[in-house]
Amino acid sequence: MNFKKRIQALQKLIKQPVLVSDPRDVFYYSGYQVGTDDSPLLLVGKAGKPTLFLSPLTGAVEAYAGIVFFKRVKELLELLPQTIGIDEYHMPAKLFLEIKKKGKVVSCSSVIKKPREIKDEGEIERMRKAIRIDKKVLERLDFFNKKEKDIAQEIERGFYEHGAVPAFETIVASGPNSGNYIHHFPGNRLVRRKEMVIIDFGARFKGYSSDVTRTYFFKNNKRQKEIFETVKNLQEECIEMVKPGIDFKEINYFYKRSLQKKGFAVRHGIGHGLGIFVHEPAQKMQKGMVVTIEPGIYLRNFGGCRIEDVILVGTKPEVLSRSIPQLR
């Protein structure tokens, strides 16, 4: 990973030094692996190498940054400039108030995250690896006559066995649960063969996420088959729209209008950006961006269908998760 290049890309965008406080951004710009109880801060100036502020309790440190250990906020404040940009969405309120007392604070969340939109080859390869792990885990999955929560745990154990971790809490929604909820928390309900089943899952490999959804439907049920084919066809139409220059809003508008014309309610958007975090911003498409396309139809107390794939934006859209089969 070329952290120097990433820092330089950010330095071209900022008008004053910025204090990076979202752990995902700290990882992106420095390579520092954030621990569970860790709250690192990365100071990026207009030029030169950044400074990583850490608690003295931190263990081994490897990062593209100078390292400063501090115990109290007062020590940190002495090292910050009078005018500083912050991530207004990912900063503790107490720290914000202390910094604001010292000088001028500028909102810079969108600027800090902007370079993350375009993925380099190393990032894309880690995401490809995460998707390959998804495929291995799903292919060995036998999900009938098991509790939803047991299936979710089996999937997540599979991630660990392949050197990854869950990118988010796995969703297993069967029967009416698949139609009543978008983000259903897996419970004690047994998965039955003649009901629709949604499995939304993703591995995170070396800091980079995948996000894939597959739906099982009973082929002898005409209504289930109709719902599945409608979602699948709509997804293919939306994927064809993914290209440099198009705004994600255009794809979302097409998706919503198409569902409404077919008489279905719109329960969520068509997709999102993907990378270190599962839900990253995505507006105007550019080559090298990675997004998901995930249309869904949900019929209350009957069942639902969502199909989600990972798309690399290029001259033609590349479906990175194409090899992951639908549930059988």
3-state SS class at 318: strand
Please calculate the CA angle 125-202-291 and round it to the nearest 5 degrees.
Answer: 60
Fold of 3-115: Creatine Amidinohydrolase; Chain A, domain 1 (3.40.350)
| Residue 37: band (very low, low, confident or very high) from pLDDT cuts 50, 70, 90 | low
Domain with CATH 3.40.350.10 in the chain: 3-115
pTM of this prediction?
Answer: 0.94
pLDDT of 36 strictly over 80: no
As a whole number, mean pLDDT of residues 92-105 equals 92
> Model confidence over 173-206: pLDDT tens digits?
999 999 999 999 999 999 999 999 999 999 999 9
In the chain, which residues fall in CATH 3.90.230.10? 121-319
Mean pLDDT of the chain: 95
At 70 the pLDDT is 83
pLDDT in tens, 113-168: 999 999 999 999 999 999 999 999 999 999 999 999 999 999 999 999 999 999 99
Here the tokens at position 293 are 């396309």
Q: Which of 131, 144, 194, 136 is nearest to 172 (CA)?
A: 144
The phi-psi region of residue 224 (left if phi > 0; otherwise alpha if psi is between -120 and 50; otherwise beta) is alpha
The pairing of beta strand 51-54 with beta strand 66-69: parallel
Structural contact between residues 66 and 44, judged by C-beta atoms closer than 8 angstroms = no
CATH class for the domain made up of 121-319:
alpha beta
Closest CA to 272 of 287, 293, 256: 293
So what's the pLDDT on residue 284? 95
